[in-house]
Structure 1
Amino acid sequence: MAITLFHGDLVKSNRIIYTPSAFAKANLIHLQETGELQAQQPHSSKRKGLFSYLFFVVLHGSGTLKYDGSVYSLTVGDCVFIDCRKPYAHCSSNDLWTLKWAHFYGPNMNAIYEKYMERGGQPCFHAHTLDQYHQILEQIYEIASSADYIRDMKIYEHLASLLTLLMEEGWDPLRNSFSTTKKQNLQNIKEYLDQHYQEKISLDMLADLFYVNKFYLTRVFKEQFGLSVNNYLLHVRINRAKQFLRFTTSSIEEISHACGMTDANYFSRIFKRLEGISPGEFRKRW
């Protein structure tokens, strides 16, 4: 866990970049980052392909969010709840905004967000209970910055409260962004990839194992999770490799094998494509 106060030309922020325990990452909805920022001048922040969900609330000022093909105008009291695997950009206007946010993830978050959208929830909405959102984020920040030995469980409790509040406020049976055609939920296949990334996996094997047409699997998996099966598996493997690089002295070849990629040169090429630097450079930075 690291606490950073950042002052720059664009923003002034007080944030916590949080490292959950291995237990929390595998079993709980867990915190990745939380904080508050004040824009110092109009600017845009763009990201994509993050295995994370973002919630933020506008406390002061105004701006816009570009997400999933739409542009949303945001002002005081507006909230954002999005899947960060999809590209997004948020931009402060001349009326410089202050935001309070949390990035989080978990083994069931994809299904939870899908249910939120099925119930009529929207990426952006105006809060009916702004104080509650503000209070939950404050509590998460305080716990994350503490030395409490069960802070992961306490953070999980407050993230669950946040999601419950989002479900309550997002409920609108007349508004549903999903197709009326029922599609098979592929969460079990995603979880299989999360757990068996070390093994040799192919589309044909998954199709046989889960009794699903591989062409249907290819199309619907990307619709539900924002990445193709192969790209999702690569991200899982590279994220695991980053942990090995940070916390072990294993060689690049040993790490590539441990992550299900038997060719170390191929592993290094994929790592650099996704992370922008080589495995060796990544290890030196940490």
Structure 2
Amino acid sequence: MLTYCLNEYPSAHGFENGLRPQLTFICKAEGNEAAIPRVMHKHDERFELMFILAGTGIYNIDGRGYNVKRGDLLLFNAGVLHDENPHTSDDLLIFSCGVEQLKFEGLPLNYLTTRSQAAVMPSGHLYGEIRGIFEQIWQQVMSKKRYGAEIAHHLLSVLLLLCRNIWLENNPEYSSADSLLGQKIKTYIDNHYKDEIALKSITAALNMNQFYLAHVFKAWSGYSPKQYQTRRRIGEAQSLLLSTDLGVTEVANAVGYDNVNNFHRIFHNLVGIPPARYKKFWLTGHIKS
């Protein structure tokens, strides 16, 4: 029989001041209907963790582009813009959860990593363990049994500590010149996305060559500056449709589109359904013709 004592291992700081993370939601997305893109958006009040059990997609987190696949873990720190575009497939299966009150020493509230670290990491040999924890959390929440919520909160703590270890042990920080430049371009577009931005206005503001700027940003983010601006606008439009009573024309104007027909066309192209149907989908859970 083998026995291991905890004091045989080096101690490590867990959650700061004993503050326990709180689960705000858990979501299980399955199949083709779950593949509706959620374009550029952020959550200021919470951290989110996503786990790809099956399927693939293209995600942009804090301006950096990622091609994700089965077994990948995705981190969305609070206040960080991200773009979710899972590929349509019958076997698509994704777990995600929202977390508040997450505090690790040396990091802002509701952050699991620094912003200079990659936001996507393969789970590797921990795939089965992480999948099992997500499934247990889902079962406890769905059962609505006594102590179910309490058990789910404790399981969440285990899950987050496992993920924190994965990032600390495997993930170098990225601070290359191109990465820093990509962030500068992103910040400029984020601050002016409602305006008509010409590439020359960005290059003038950052004092650099247009071709080089476009090349660096495309390689870093996966989008051209114009594509990023469009996704920023449509992502904000999605948020307004879900969180306000504004009509489609009002939403279009609020994100920088004077022509509602142009907004309608671009929204449909990116999201796959028109703005009004998108809002109904999130209210009812079903796409209606």
TM category (shorter chain) comes to 0.5 to 0.7
Aligned CA distance change for structure 1 residues 252 and 52 (closer, same or farther; 3 Å): same
The change in CA–CA distance for 1:135 and 1:32 in structure 2 (over 3 A counts) is: closer
Which blocks of at least 5 consecutive residues in structure 1 are unaligned?
A: 11-21, 38-43, 54-66, 93-98
Shift of residue 161, structure 1, vs aligned partner: 4.9
Question: Deviations for 1:34-61, whole angstroms, at most 9, x for unmatched residues?
Answer: 7x97xxxxxx63433x4469xxxxxxxx
Question: Deviation of residue 250 (structure 1)?
Answer: 2.1
**CA deviation profile, 1:213-269 (whole Å, cap 9, x unmatched):** 221121111211122211111111111111222232323222111101222111111
1:115 aligns with 2:117: yes
1:80 aligns with 2:72: yes
State the partner residue of 1:207.
203
**Inter-partner Cα distance in structure 2 for 1:113 and 1:86:** 21
Q: Which whole-Å CA distance do the structure 2 matches of 1:272 and 1:207 have between them?
A: 30
Distance 1:133 1:194, change over 3 A: farther
C-alpha displacement of 1:201? 1.9
Q: 1:275 aligns with which of 271, 277, 284?
A: 271
Say which structure, 1 or 2, has more relative contact order (CA 8 Å, 6+ apart): 2
Letter in 2 for 1:212: M
The one-letter amino acid of 1:115's match is Q
Contact 1:85 1:226 in 2 (8 A): no
Give the equivalent residue in structure 1 for 2:218. Answer: 222
In structure 2, distance between residues paired with 1:158 and 1:262 = 49
Q: What residue number does 1:266 align with?
A: 262
Letter matched to residue 186 of structure 2: K
After superposition, the C-alpha distances for 1:77-121 in whole angstroms (9 at most, x for unaligned) are: xx53469868779998xxxxxx98547899x99x9576349xxx9
Is this contact kept in 2: 1:102–1:137, CA < 8 A?
no
Query: What letter is aligned with 2:178?
Result: K
- Residues 244-255 of structure 1 mapped to structure 2, 5 A cutoff: 244-255=240-251
SS for the counterpart of 2:43 is: helix
1:130-149 residue pairs with structure 2 within 5 A?
none
- CA separation in 2, counterparts of 1:142 and 1:194? 39
Aligned to 1:257: 253
Structure 1 partner of 2:37: none
Query: Which residues of 2 match residues 10-21 of structure 1 at below 5 A?
Result: none
Query: What is the root-mean-square deviation of aligned Cα atoms in Å?
Result: 5.3
Could you say if the C-alpha distance between residues 234 and 141 of structure 1 is closer, same or farther in structure 2, counting changes exceeding 3 Å? farther
Distance 1:88 1:244, change over 3 A: closer
User: What residue number does 1:126 align with?
Assistant: 125
Inter-partner Cα distance in structure 2 for 1:228 and 1:282: 26
Instruction: Determine which of 171, 180, 187 is the counterpart of 2:183.
Output: 187
How many residues of Structure 1 are paired with residues of Structure 2 in the alignment?
Answer: 221
Large movers: runs of 4+ above 4 Å:
1-6, 82-92, 103-106, 111-114, 121-124, 129-143, 145-148, 157-163
Structure that is richer in strand per residue:
1
Give 1:166 deviation, angstroms.
2.5
Q: Aligned residue for 1:240?
A: 236
1:273–1:161 distance in 2 versus 1, CA, 3 Å: same
- 5 Å matches for 1:95-110? 101-102=95-96
How far did residue 273 of structure 1 move?
0.2
Q: Give the match for residue 13 of structure 1.
A: none
Structure 1 residues 164 and 253 mapped into 2: Cα distance closer, same or farther (>3 Å)?
same
**Cα distance change on mapping 1:250 and 1:203 into 2, 3 Å:** same
Report the counterpart of residue 48 of structure 2 in structure 1: 31
